[in-house]
Amino acid sequence: MPDLIEGKERYFIRRMREADLAAVREIEVLSFSNPWSVNTFRGEIQNTGVSFPLVVVSRPDEEVVAYIIFWHIREDVQVNNIAVHPGRRGLGLAEAMMRYVIAKTRAAGAGFMTLEVRRSNAPALALYQKLGFEVLGTRKNYYTKPDEDALVLALVLDQ
């Protein structure tokens, strides 16, 4: 039985599967100027043990509406991708996914969570700051289409 996102019985979260890839790629294309390919997502699904690709599914229509992909290696968690379908934004889904991952990885012994974000991505930055992330530094011209710096954000989990 997949875990419910707390307080949101209309949605549940579970591991991403091959059958989700078309819906995931559609959200990815709507969300990023330089989207991941289907094969990149497939690689994450197959990278069991290190990568945790999760999808949020709506009820009762069973539609994939959001996803988050993170790597968990010993104490370190790296969030590599997160997106919500444009039609489902502003409902608290990204915050619920992040809180779910923070709770699960903290309970599994992780100590530190990091991620990169475009400097201009105000919605994502507001989300991470709300969750307590702090800016660790900058990666110059990390992104393309358009070229832009990444801010490296971090959250200490073991406190």
Ligand X SMILES: CC(C)(COP(=O)(O)OP(=O)(O)OC[C@H]1O[C@@H](n2cnc3c(N)ncnc32)[C@H](O)[C@@H]1OP(=O)(O)O)[C@@H](O)C(=O)NCCC(=O)NCCS
Q: Which stretches of the chain bind ligand X, using CB under 6 A?
A: 31, 82-84, 89-95, 117, 121-124, 126-127, 130
SS (H, E, C) the chain: CCEECCCCCCEEEEECCHHHHHHHHHHHHHHCCCCCCHHHHHHHHHCCCCEEEEEEEECCCCCEEEEEEEEEECCEEEEEEEEECHHHCCCCHHHHHHHHHHHHHHHCCCCEEEEEEECCCHHHHHHHHHCCCEEEEEEEEEECCCCEEEEEEEEECCC
User: By the 8 A CB rule, do 155 and 113 touch?
Assistant: yes
Q: What's the min distance (Å) between Cβ of 109 and ligand X?
A: 25
Task: Supply the minimum distance, in Å, between the C-beta of residue 47 and ligand X.
Answer: 20
| Choice between 48 and 65, CB closer to ligand X | 65
Residue 152 CB, shortest distance to ligand X, in Å, is 11
CB nearer ligand X, residue 93 or residue 101: 93
Q: How far is the CB of 37 from ligand X (least distance, A)?
A: 16
Would you say 34 or 49 has its CB closer to ligand X? 34
Q: Please, what is the minimum distance in Å from the beta carbon of residue 39 to ligand X?
A: 20
Nearer to ligand X, 26 or 48 (CB): 26
Residue number with CB closer to ligand X (6 or 158): 6
